[in-house]
Amino acid sequence: MRGVFGTELTGEIANRVGKALGSYLANGRIALGRDTRVSGPAVERAFLDGVLSTGCSVERYGVLPISMISFETWRGGYNAAAYISASHNPPEYNGIRFRTSEGYGMLYHETEMMNLYEKGTFLKGDGKLTDRSPDDALRRYADYVEGKLTFGRPLRIVLDMGNGAACGTFPLYQRLGFDCRVTNGEPDGLFPGRGPAPTEESLRDAARMVVETEADYGVGFDPDADRGLVIDDRGRIVPPEKVAVILAKERYAPGDKVVAGFDCSMIVERELLPLGFEVIRERVGDVFVANRVKEEGAVLGVERSAHLFIPEFQLSDDPFAMSLALGEIVSRGERLSELADAIPDYPYVQRSVRIEGSAADLMRRLEGDLAPLEPDTTDGLKITTEDYTVLIRPSNTQPLIRLYVETAGTDVEELVRRFMGFIEGATR
């Protein structure tokens, strides 16, 4: 659930969502957290009133990264978790996210929850609210991950907290012996430091700090801290697919499974298949990748948007575990820039086309036009050849058709022109 607070997402809607979750869980025990958004307390209050009115008990952690709420949910024996955030959306947005009892993304459309929401058939009861310490949760998480990591030398890291839920997590790194340099570390729901979305552009100051302080690497978090963009020692963003490849090569073994989002770079297959890994593609969306990782027993999951899943730590997307596992690798010798440069870069272009009318109808026309190329229809239309991949799919949130083109040899701009022609033809 996500939208502009006060119009698209109101207190009434948040209250109804709470009633739906509470009725679905029937006297269950729920963990609750949020990011730093200004509207967070208001959404939380409305949601809480709804959940408690069904008889469920809620344990509220306040501002804490969603990955740590996920950890608490799994290790603490909760029935589910809810989290108040709109992820990387602008400050005026907010939303409500859900986690299963094992801490990973809930496919709520596949539960009875949506039917309850729509029908309004809610349970009634007198629930109990308990407040939990976010600092205690951070310590429990640190206790857990510390036992899974061994560092060959002390590391220096730059942490761009983005004024979000990651603020205050630097003691985790300090406890593990890191020399931490923090930027945008003050909680502020307006995200004044560099905005809510970590991107190559918004992380320029953090990248400069990595170089100037001679740090080993840096990480830039989004407001709910389920994603972390990695900056190498030369101040360059390391694509999430490269991070996944490095982790797989250095931490796992031939025969292991890696799940990659449908729009991820072809480097995942090109680097890992020759080493004996199995690569499984899943539709775009962190919740879908999370569930596929669980189903397949994969050792890694990766989305192009920088969601990384490392089940040896937990099933949730977890940028803290990712950054620490990466640090363990770097501490053994090679610089992160050297590890990243050992993996080739392929030209990758994304275009968006605004549409009117039905995206489903347009995609059906495109499927007919592209039939001779035998596209994979798992998520949109994907064409894979020896030299290039092309993915055409509708946006999940906006009236857009997105085109992704990646090539290992063919002229990428020529491919963009060619397939944009198909899209424009289908819109007429």
DSSP characters over 329-397? HHTTSS-HHHHHHTS----EEEEEEE--S-HHHHHHHHHHHTGGG--B-SSSEEEE-SSEEEEEEE-SS
Domain 138-342 has CATH 3.30.379.10: no
What's the whole-number average pLDDT of the chain?
95
* pTM score of the predicted model: 0.94
At residue 293, φ and ψ (nearest 5 deg) are -60, -45
Residue among 299, 308, 306 at smallest CA distance from 280 = 299
Q: How far apart are CA 206 and CA 219, in angstroms?
A: 8
Q: How far apart are CA 312 and CA 213, in angstroms?
A: 32
- Residue of 39, 87, 316, 323 marked active site: 87
Please state which CATH number belongs to domain 348-427: 3.30.310.50
**Residue 389 corresponds to which tokens in the numbers above?**
């991949």
Q: Is 352 a catalytic residue?
A: no
Q: Where are the domains of the chain?
A: 2-132, 138-342, 348-427
- 108 pLDDT band, cuts 50/70/90, is confident
pLDDT of residue 357: 84
Give residue-wise pLDDT tens across range 256-303: 999 999 999 999 999 999 999 999 999 988 999 999 999 999 999 999
Instruction: Kindly give, in sequence order, each residue whose CB lies less than 8 Å from that of residue 148, ignoring residues fewer than 6 positions away.
Output: 312, 313
Q: How far apart are CA 14 and CA 21, in angstroms?
A: 11
Q: How far apart are CA 210 and CA 215, in angstroms?
A: 5
Domains 2-132 and 138-342 share a fold: yes
Highest CATH level, class, for 2-132: alpha beta
